[in-house]
Amino acid sequence: MVLEIGSILTTCGFGVPLFDFRGQREQLTDFACKMGAEKMDEYRHRKNERSIDGLPTYLFGEPPG
């Protein structure tokens, strides 16, 4: 992977609001429990075959070369 970076911006963070931790979200755990281990493996494989930009990933196989 080759990157050509034209500019980088930073912020002081002064405008970022403070948030209090109220607990863990349960949606992911509930979803995974309903799916079961085998279906979750199939789901992960199907959803992670390609990156967001459509490139193949190597999470479930050998890298080329």
The 3-state secondary structure of the chain reads CCCCCCCCCCCCCCCCCCCCCCCCCCHHHHHHHHHCHHHHHHHHHHHCCECCCCCECCCCCCCCC
Is 46 part of any domain? yes
Residue 55 forms part of a structural domain: yes
Q: Give the total number of structural domains in the chain.
A: 1
Query: Is 44 a domain residue?
Result: yes
pTM of the model: 0.52
Separation of alpha carbons 45 and 40, rounded Å: 8
Question: Do the domain assignments include residue 31?
Answer: yes
Residue 10 maps to a domain: no
Q: pLDDT tens, position by position, for the chain (65 residues)?
A: 888 888 888 878 788 888 899 999 999 999 999 999 999 999 988 888 888 888 888 765 566 55
In a domain, 8, yes or no: no
pLDDT of 61: 59
Return the pLDDT at 26: 94
